[in-house]
Structure 1
Amino acid sequence: MQLSLGNMIPSLWEGTPLQSFLLLSAIILILIHYVQSRRRHLNYPPGPPSLPILGNFLQMDFEKPQVTMQKFVQKYGNIVSMHVGSQIFVIVTGLPLIKEVLVNQGDVFIDRPQLPIHLHIFKSLGLIMSNGQLWKQQRRFALMTLRNFGLGKKTLEDRIRVEAKYLIEAMREEKGQPFDPHFVINNAVSNIICSVTFGHRFEYHDSKYRELLKTVDYVMKLLPRWECQLFNIIPSVMKFLPGPHQKVFRESKKLESFVEDVIKQHKENLNPEEPQDFIDAYLIELSKDNIHSSFNEKNLIYCTMDLFFAGTETTSTTLRWALLYMALYPEIQGKIQAEIDRVIGQSQQPTMADKENMPYTNAAVHEVQRMGDIVPFNVPRMAVVDTTVAGYYVPKGTMLTTNLTALHRDPKEWATPETFNPEHFLKNGQFKKRESFLPFSIGKRACLGEQLARAELFLFFTSLLQKFTFQPPPNTQLSLDVQCGTTMSPLPYKICAIPREM
């Protein structure tokens, strides 16, 4: 009779003396480490020495990973190799190398690494963590469908402007008193992707939806925890142990169930002649005879979850940084408001057409992204074949991360790299694009929602500063310290939105 792994582990544990079990485990670890080290190519990128199995796991600072990485970069150079368990990963620093791996070798580093924790949650489906033909088909369909529902058109811009009015009213209700803007901003931003994906928005006082947003936030904060990263090293053991990784799995299931319920409702109300949103369009695609094999209801669930995650977290986090920087730099806030008053005034809502005439405001939005450093190492890639980078051998299966923190804080590129300064994006009073500014990444797997995110950031930010001045609460010192999660967010803070008297 066969035993499942869940039954085998307790049986082996009970039948084996502890000392023998530990000795056997140590021998196996040493042997695996020896085999791995023998495989290392003579021209492998430099990096810190690693332990058996754990690799460089114990050298990582999971609270401030970018600080740890910068130390390794300073010691080993612009290409550094490390190990976490059996996974090799390489981090590249500097614009020339980032362009080399993401553009020149874009087809080599096209895949996402199949990390155990991501496989457990996303099953290699959806838009973010999928690979190969599945990814190409799903991305192509998602882009086409999003464009059909307004991406890059005035219809979607109008949705953002309407939502900005709701956000302004929600902040006006605070009457200038200190409040935490976290979830009201989350709600506003998520409503844009929800209107495209689900076909409707959610009220800010909807307690059920607010709980869902808190679940998303909770998962994002837990994923980088060391226990979750240890799951990537020994998943067969960690899946039986308690810890934050188990909470991630439970909370992710809640999100999956929410999306499943929404899809069920769409099935009941579907009009094949008039799709109302992304889910409708996908369900119609499923009904076609010549459908690609990657189109199925499970993929619909994960594509929808990906759009929801990606369409909410990064933009809302950037806007939270924006309000924090405005409160801390009142003179910059004043310059932005002067430009808003001159170009738009108070009686009209901002539009995307205004951006061209508002270089300082546009520069400030870009500077928030640079300083906020939302995704310091980009979303990881994986080498699909053996290759060389900067003359070093990089084998197939190597995970690649690009050091956006170093790029966005490079003193050779930025006059005051550690200071919030919109002048970085201005030249002779006009907005200036910077090649060393890559918050949306570059290459074939660049952010699918870049166009939407840019519109949301400009319109929400400008609308809020048109109506409010943001200040710290009395006798309060606001902090720029970072809270590490899937994105780098500010610590929870309260702020005062003072209505502007014109």
Structure 2
Amino acid sequence: MDLFIILVICLSCLILLSLWNESYARQKLPPGPTPLPIVGNILQLHTKNISKSISMLAKDYGPVLTVYFGMKPTVVLHGYEAIKEALIDQGEEFSGRGSFPVLDKIARGFGVGFSNGERRKQIRRFSLMVLRNMGMGKKTIEDRIQEEALCLVEALKKNQWSSPCDPTFLLGCVPWNVISTIIFQNRFDYSDQKFQTLMKYFNENFEIMNSPWIQLYNAFPFLRVLPGSHNVIFKNYALQRSFILEKVKEHQESLDINNPQDFIDYFLIKMEKERPNKHSEFTMDNLIATIWDLLTAGTETTSTTMRYGLLLLLKHPEISGMITDDGPCTQDRSRLPYMDAVVHEIQRYINLAPTSIPHAVTQDIRFREYLILKVRDIISSVNLMGFPLCVTRPFSLAALNIFFLRFNFGESDNYVSWSCSSGGVSLWCCLYFLNLNVGLPYQVGEVLLDDILKNVFQLGSIFPITFRHTNQM
């Protein structure tokens, strides 16, 4: 009995000490809801719509607030002004990567997406240089996008036009193949079994990544010892890594140091040059992790915008008829502001990137009136397009016209969020949508589309659709 009393007293002291430390630490943090012991503010957040929960909290605590995901405090930036001030005006100070346990276990600090410090600077600088050499931002990449759009049309034509089809897989292949031509020097045929299996792993991981269990795992990383869907992510990544490693080995056997053909060749040549440097960041681990980062960075955001964009344009053919054009190219973008506005409105409606990957400051800094420590995670709620500032929630021609005319689309700073988070997505989607002309079969009513759009975040929805290339109209 005496031992039990001693244990209770010790446990009570530990809890009181923990609460005191937490209370003292919170005095230096931005305001936020009072966290509960252990679980933090998780019970106050809607696990399937965290961005909405954050928006509600921001009304009470302001655009810079603290939310506890489990026992760890996270500084949240909400709204255009706070995000711009941090990620753009003080971009260097906020350029660190925060903790994202499920992806941290995959990346292990390698690559460009989830590394920090000098490693991230070197790999990022080198990757940008190679991507520019390979045509990113030039007509070369535009031609690849156009070619892949034609391949997409041909693949869709092979389906029975009068029957329901699920374009999820094909739309995911499109951005993947464009990136693959830069990394591997070749695209993959949509019918390739190995490619289909690889895409299945990626799609499965993206779906699991958005589940409440993974959000719980990120708040309490010790859950890794339990069975759960996080183990499926790790297994799928191991298979993806094996595929990438196989491709790298093929490149090593055929490497011509005087004539690099793709990203892997450039990286292997750099590795050879850096071989005498024992502290070089150009290693096999960094190469594989960087390839994985490049393949995953834009694939899901682009394919999701395209998938739900097609659904919305089917439901609103009056908008689809206003954006078609023959042979669009990147230079046409400035002359097609309505098309650009349509893509942004689609992204706003589906809430494409409600929160960012966690950032971190590279040093202790004072942001506004708050002290943000180097060890703190920072996320930004980038759902700027959903604010009343822009337009009401429904997607419609009337709403789009307000969006386009009232805010002088293309010149307003309020669209900077897309260059902060998913910059290339709108350009890619402009080119794809302009290459496609979509329409509902005559026997299909509006009810089916309405049912699908109610579950706008559900992946893999099946819907009837016909595709015709604009040049053939």
TM superposition score normalised by structure 1: 0.84
1:494 matched residue in structure 2: 463
**CA deviation after TM superposition for structure 1 residue 498, in Å:** 4.7
2:52 to 41, 55, 67: 67
- The Cα offsets for residues 462-494 of structure 1, whole Å up to 9 and x where unpaired, read as 1012xx3256972442232456xxxx5666231
For residues 251 and 150 of structure 1, do their structure 2 counterparts lie closer, same or farther at Cα, with a shift above 3 Å needed? same
Would the aligned equivalents of 1:425 and 1:434 in 2 still touch at CA under 8 Å?
no
Q: Output the amino acid matched with 1:298.
A: D
1:359-438 matches, within 5 Å, as 359-405=337-383, 407-411=384-388, 413-420=389-396, 421-424=399-402, 426-427=404-405, 432-438=410-416
- The Cα offsets for residues 64-111 of structure 1, whole Å up to 9 and x where unpaired, read as 212222221223222221112342112122222111111233232211
Matched, 1:123 2:108: yes
Matched, 1:331 2:332: no
**CA deviation after TM superposition for structure 1 residue 38, in Å:** 3.8
Matched, 1:459 2:431: yes
1:480 to 453, 462, 467: 453
For residues 474 and 419 of structure 1, do their structure 2 counterparts lie closer, same or farther at Cα, with a shift above 3 Å needed? closer
For residues 473 and 223 of structure 1, do their structure 2 counterparts lie closer, same or farther at Cα, with a shift above 3 Å needed? farther
2:439 matched residue in structure 1: 469
Q: Distance in 1 between matches of 2:227 and 2:448?
A: 38
1:276 matched residue in structure 2: 261
Q: Distance in 2 between matches of 1:96 and 1:128?
A: 25
Matched, 1:209 2:209: no
**CA deviation after TM superposition for structure 1 residue 379, in Å:** 2.2
**CA deviation after TM superposition for structure 1 residue 428, in Å:** 9.3
Matched, 1:225 2:211: yes
Moved more, 245-254 or 110-119: 110-119
1:258 to 237, 243, 246: 243
Percent identical across equivalent pairs?
32
**CA deviation after TM superposition for structure 1 residue 179, in Å:** 0.8
1:152 to 137, 140, 156: 137
Would the aligned equivalents of 1:369 and 1:439 in 2 still touch at CA under 8 Å?
no
Secondary structure in 2 aligned to 1:426? helix
Q: Output the amino acid matched with 1:284.
A: I
- For structure 1, which runs of at least 5 residues remain unmatched after alignment? 1-18
Would the aligned equivalents of 2:48 and 2:212 in 1 still touch at CA under 8 Å?
no
- The Cα offsets for residues 271-292 of structure 1, whole Å up to 9 and x where unpaired, read as 1111111111101110004666
2:285 matched residue in structure 1: 298
**CA deviation after TM superposition for structure 1 residue 41, in Å:** 4.5
For residues 455 and 414 of structure 1, do their structure 2 counterparts lie closer, same or farther at Cα, with a shift above 3 Å needed? closer
**CA deviation after TM superposition for structure 1 residue 217, in Å:** 1.1
Would the aligned equivalents of 1:79 and 1:93 in 2 still touch at CA under 8 Å?
yes
Q: Distance in 1 between matches of 2:442 and 2:382?
A: 30
Matched, 1:47 2:32: yes
Secondary structure in 1 aligned to 2:66? strand
Would the aligned equivalents of 1:112 and 1:129 in 2 still touch at CA under 8 Å?
yes
For residues 293 and 473 of structure 1, do their structure 2 counterparts lie closer, same or farther at Cα, with a shift above 3 Å needed? farther
- The Cα offsets for residues 357-398 of structure 1, whole Å up to 9 and x where unpaired, read as 333222212222222321111222112333333423333322
Matched, 1:321 2:299: no
Would the aligned equivalents of 1:372 and 1:489 in 2 still touch at CA under 8 Å?
no
Would the aligned equivalents of 2:444 and 2:464 in 1 still touch at CA under 8 Å?
no
- The Cα offsets for residues 220-269 of structure 1, whole Å up to 9 and x where unpaired, read as 12124333233334434x22210111111111111111111111111111
Would the aligned equivalents of 2:390 and 2:407 in 1 still touch at CA under 8 Å?
no
For residues 433 and 418 of structure 1, do their structure 2 counterparts lie closer, same or farther at Cα, with a shift above 3 Å needed? farther
For residues 105 and 250 of structure 1, do their structure 2 counterparts lie closer, same or farther at Cα, with a shift above 3 Å needed? same
Q: Distance in 1 between matches of 2:142 and 2:149?
A: 11
Q: Distance in 2 between matches of 1:25 and 1:263?
A: 56
1:142 matched residue in structure 2: 127
1:15 matched residue in structure 2: none
1:245 to 215, 222, 230: 230
Would the aligned equivalents of 2:354 and 2:382 in 1 still touch at CA under 8 Å?
yes
Runs of 4+ in 1 over 6 A off after TM superposition: 22-26
- For structure 2, which runs of at least 5 residues remain unmatched after alignment? none
- The Cα offsets for residues 95-149 of structure 1, whole Å up to 9 and x where unpaired, read as 2211111123323221111333222111111111111111111111111001111
RMSD, matched Cα = 2.8
Moved more, 321-330 or 421-430: 421-430
**CA deviation after TM superposition for structure 1 residue 51, in Å:** 1.9
- The Cα offsets for residues 423-448 of structure 1, whole Å up to 9 and x where unpaired, read as 35534998533311244343xxx65x
For residues 232 and 362 of structure 1, do their structure 2 counterparts lie closer, same or farther at Cα, with a shift above 3 Å needed? closer
Q: How many residues align?
A: 459
Q: Distance in 1 between matches of 2:413 and 2:458?
A: 24
1:4 matched residue in structure 2: none
Q: Distance in 2 between matches of 1:472 and 1:39?
A: 66
- The Cα offsets for residues 153-198 of structure 1, whole Å up to 9 and x where unpaired, read as 2121111111111111111222423211111111122100011011
Moved more, 47-56 or 198-207: 47-56
Q: Output the amino acid matched with 1:469.
A: G
Would the aligned equivalents of 1:473 and 1:494 in 2 still touch at CA under 8 Å?
no
TM superposition score normalised by structure 2: 0.89
Q: Distance in 1 between matches of 2:150 and 2:84?
A: 40
Matched, 1:90 2:68: no
Q: Distance in 2 between matches of 1:31 and 1:429?
A: 53
Would the aligned equivalents of 1:126 and 1:302 in 2 still touch at CA under 8 Å?
yes
Would the aligned equivalents of 2:344 and 2:426 in 1 still touch at CA under 8 Å?
no
Matched, 1:440 2:418: yes
Would the aligned equivalents of 2:390 and 2:403 in 1 still touch at CA under 8 Å?
no
1:190 to 164, 176, 195: 176
Q: Distance in 2 between matches of 1:409 and 1:181?
A: 27
For residues 145 and 24 of structure 1, do their structure 2 counterparts lie closer, same or farther at Cα, with a shift above 3 Å needed? farther
Would the aligned equivalents of 1:86 and 1:233 in 2 still touch at CA under 8 Å?
yes
